[in-house]
C-alpha cells in the first residue's frame, strides 16, 4: 500500500478536498493517521469491526487493548454509550472538546473488536479542528489509538507517523506539530467513584474541580482497568534510568554514570532540564558519544510535555545504549510527564543521595 501524506490547516473551506478524500478512505474501511491536540492518532471507522482489526494489525498491537472512540458532537456520546452518569455531562461541559477521555458503558452498536472485548467504551471529543473536520466528514465515530507502532513513543508530528506507518495506512494528514504532546487523560465513570486511569493534561485538580471526589488508580497496578497501561510503552531501544534527588546531586550522579559508560566507549544520551544543560555540555565537551537533550526549563512544563516523545525518538536514532533522564515533578503536568518517563524507563529509578 502506498501511504500519501497530505497537508491540512484546520480551515474547513481550505481542507474540503483533503477531508473528502480521507472520509472516502475511512468509509471504505481504510486507515488514516490524523493530528489531534494530544498526539497523532491512527484512525479507522469505530463501528466497522474490520477497520478495528486493521488498526491492530497496522499498529502491531495486542487486540485485547481497546481503542478510544472519537466524536465531534457531544450528542454523539449518547449514540455509543448508555446509562451515562451525570458526572460525564459535568466533565463534558467543562473540558470537552479537549484532551479528556471518559470510560462509559457501551451500546450494542459499538463492536467488541473496537473495545477489545469490553462492555465499556472510551469516548473522546478532541478540540483540534482538523480532527473534528475529519471525524464529521467520516461519519462521526472514529477509533484511534496513538499512531505509533506498539511500544514506540507516541507521534507528535506527521514525520513520526510516516516513520512508523509507511505502507501500513492509506493516508497521513499532516497538521503540523501537535500542541500538548501527551495522550489524553482517561477517567473511568462506570464504577462508584470516578477513577483516573491515565494522567494527562486535564489533571487531578481540574477533575476534582468539576466532580469533587476523584480517585486515581495506583501506577503499578497488576491488572489496570485501562489494559494499555500494563504495557511498557514508549520503550526506547537503550536502557533508560531516571535519576532523582536533591538539587545538584542529580547532575553529579548523571555525570558520574555517563563518565563510566564513556570509559567503556559506550554511547549515552542525557535528558536534561534547561537549567542543568550547560553543566553537562561543559563536562562532556568534545565527547561525541554523549548526546545531551535540553527538554526545556522546569518553569515551562508545557514545553517539557511537548518535547518528551520527540526526544525519545531522536535518542533512538542516535543508537544510544544508555539513557539517563532527570525527573520533572512539575506542579501541573508533573504526574503525566513522569508517568510516561517511568514507563519508558521500565520504572528504573536511581536515587542520587
Ligand atoms: O490522546 C489520546 O488519547 C490519543 C489520541 C489519538 O486521541 N489516543 C490514545 O490512544 O492515546 P491509545 O490507544 O494509545 O491509548 C488508549 C488507552 C489504552 O491504554 C487503552 O487500554 C485504554 O485507553 N482504553 C481504551 N478503551 C478502554 C476501555 N473501554 N476501558 C478501559 N481502558 C480503555
Ligand atoms: Mg498509545
The DSSP result for 21-82, as a single string, is HHHHHHHTT--EEE--SSS-EEEEETT-HHHHHHHHHHHT--TTSPPEEE-SSGGGHHHHEE
In this structure, the answer to whether residues 155 and 289 fall within a common structural domain is no
pTM score, two decimals? Answer: 0.97
Contacts of 223 (CB under 8 A, 6+ apart): 230
Ligand nearest to the CA of 65: 1
Please tell me the distance from the alpha carbon of residue 141 to that of residue 286, in angstroms, as a whole number: 53
Indicate whether 226 belongs to any domain. no
CA of 52 to the centre of ligand 1 (A): 13
Closest to 117 measured CA to CA, from 60, 67, 79, 177: 67
Tell me, yes or no, whether 30 and 154 share the same domain: yes
Asked whether residue 28 falls in the same domain as residue 142, the answer is yes
Euclidean distance between CA atoms 170 and 188, whole angstroms: 33
Contact residues of ligand 1, CB 6 A cut-off: 36, 38-39, 41, 65-68, 101, 103, 115, 118, 120-122, 124, 144-146, 183-184, 186, 197, 225-229
What CATH code is carried by the domain that includes residue 315?
3.40.50.11030
Which of 88, 115, 144, 226 has most ligand 1 atoms within 8 Å of its beta carbon, as the pocket-test mutant? 226
Residue 124 domain-assigned (yes or no): yes
Distance 6 CA to ligand 2 centre (A): 23
Q: How confident is the model at residue 220, as a pLDDT?
A: 74
With a CB cutoff of 8 Å and minimum separation 6, the contacts of 260 are: none
Q: Do 188 and 89 belong to one domain? A: yes
Pocket test for ligand 1, best of 201, 228, 305 (most atoms within 8 A of CB): 228
Structural domain count of the chain: 2
Instruction: Give dist(CA 281, CA 303) in Å, integer.
Output: 21
Residue 221 lies in a domain: no
Give domain status of residue 142, yes or no. yes
What are the grid coordinates assigned to 30, written together?
A: 481504510
Which residue range forms the structural domain that includes residue 268?
239-351
Question: Which of helix, strand or coil describes residue 139?
Answer: coil
Ligand closest to the CA atom of residue 184: 1
DSSP code at position 230: G
- Beta-strand relationship, 41-45 and 32-34: antiparallel
Mutate to test the pocket of ligand 1, among 101, 131, 182 (most ligand atoms within 8 A of CB): 101
| Tens-digit pLDDT string for the chain (353 aa) | 999 999 999 999 999 999 999 999 999 999 999 999 999 999 999 999 999 999 999 999 888 899 999 999 999 999 999 999 999 999 999 999 999 999 999 999 999 999 999 999 999 999 999 999 999 999 999 999 999 999 899 999 999 999 999 999 999 999 999 999 999 999 999 998 999 999 999 999 999 999 999 999 887 777 889 888 876 677 788 999 999 999 899 999 999 999 999 999 999 999 999 999 999 999 998 888 999 999 999 999 999 999 999 999 999 999 999 999 999 999 999 999 999 999 999 999 999 87
- Residue 49 belongs to a domain: yes
User: What count of other Cβ atoms lies within 10 Å of the Cβ of residue 266?
Assistant: 15
Same domain, 270 and 204: no
Q: How high is the pLDDT of residue 232? A: 66
Give the distance (Å) from ligand 2 centre to CA of residue 313.
14
Q: Is residue 230 part of a domain?
A: no
Atom of ligand 1 nearest to the CA of 120: 29
Taking the centre of ligand 2 as the mean of its atom positions, its distance from the CA of residue 295, in whole angstroms, is 21
Asked if residue 232 belongs to a domain, the reply is no
Amino acid at each position: 500500500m502506498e501511504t500519501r501524506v497530505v497537508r491540512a490547516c484546520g480551515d474547513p473551506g481550505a481542507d474540503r478536498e483533503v477531508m473528502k478524500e480521507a472520509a472516502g478512505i475511512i468509509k471504505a474501511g481504510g486507515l488514516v493517521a490524523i493530528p489531534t491536540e494530544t498526539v497523532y492518532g491512527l484512525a479507522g471507522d469505530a463501528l466497522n469491526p474490520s477497520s478495528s482489526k486493521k488498526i491492530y494489525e497496522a499498529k502491531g498491537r495486542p487486540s485485547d487493548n481497546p481503542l478510544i472512540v472519537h466524536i465531534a458532537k457531544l450528542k454523539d456520546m449518547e449514540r455509543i454509550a448508555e446509562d451515562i452518569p451525570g458526572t460525564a455531562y459535568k466533565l463534558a461541559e467543562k473540558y470537552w472538546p479537549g484532551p479528556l477521555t471518559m470510560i462509559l458503558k457501551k451500546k450494542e452498536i459499538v463492536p467488541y473488536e473496537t473495545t477489545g472485548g469490553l462492555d465499556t467504551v472510551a469516548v473522546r471529543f478532541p478540540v483540534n479542528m482538523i480532527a473534528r473536520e475529519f471525524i464529521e466528514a467520516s461519519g462521526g465515530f472514529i477509533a484511534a489509538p496513538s499512531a505509533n507502532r506498539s511500544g514506540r513513543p507516541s507521534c507528535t508530528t506527521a514525520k513520526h507517523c510516516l516513520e512508523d506507518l509507511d505502507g501500513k495506512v492509506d493516508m497521513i494528514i499532516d497538521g503540523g506539530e501537535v500542541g500538548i504532546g501527551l495522550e489524553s487523560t482517561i477517567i473511568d465513570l462506570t464504577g462508584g467513584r470516578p477513577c483516573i486511569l491515565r494522567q494527562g493534561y486535564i489533571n487531578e485538580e481540574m477533575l476534582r474541580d468539576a466532580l469533587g471526589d476523584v480517585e486515581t488508580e495506583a501506577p503499578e497496578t497488576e491488572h489496570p482497568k485501562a489494559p494499555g497501561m500494563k504495557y511498557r510503552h514508549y520503550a526506547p531501544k537503550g536502557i533508560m534510568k531516571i535519576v532523582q534527588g536533591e538539587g545538584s546531586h542529580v547532575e553529579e550522579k548523571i555525570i558520574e554514570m555517563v563518565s563510566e559508560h564513556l570509559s567503556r566507549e559506550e554511547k549515552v544520551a542525557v535528558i536534561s532540564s534547561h537549567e542543568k544543560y550547560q553543566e553537562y555540555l561543559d563536562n562532556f565537551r568534545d565527547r561525541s558519544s554523549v548526546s545531551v537533550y535540553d527538554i526545556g526549563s522546569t518553569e515551562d512544563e508545557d514545553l517539557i510535555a511537548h518535547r518528551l516523545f520527540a526526544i525519545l525518538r531522536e535518542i533512538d536514532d542516535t543508537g544510544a545504549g544508555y539513557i539517563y533522564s532527570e525527573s520533572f515533578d512539575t506542579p501541573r503536568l508533573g504526574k503525566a510527564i513522569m508517568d510516561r518517563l517511568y514507563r519508558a524507563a521500565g520504572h528504573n529509578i536511581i536515587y542520587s543521595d
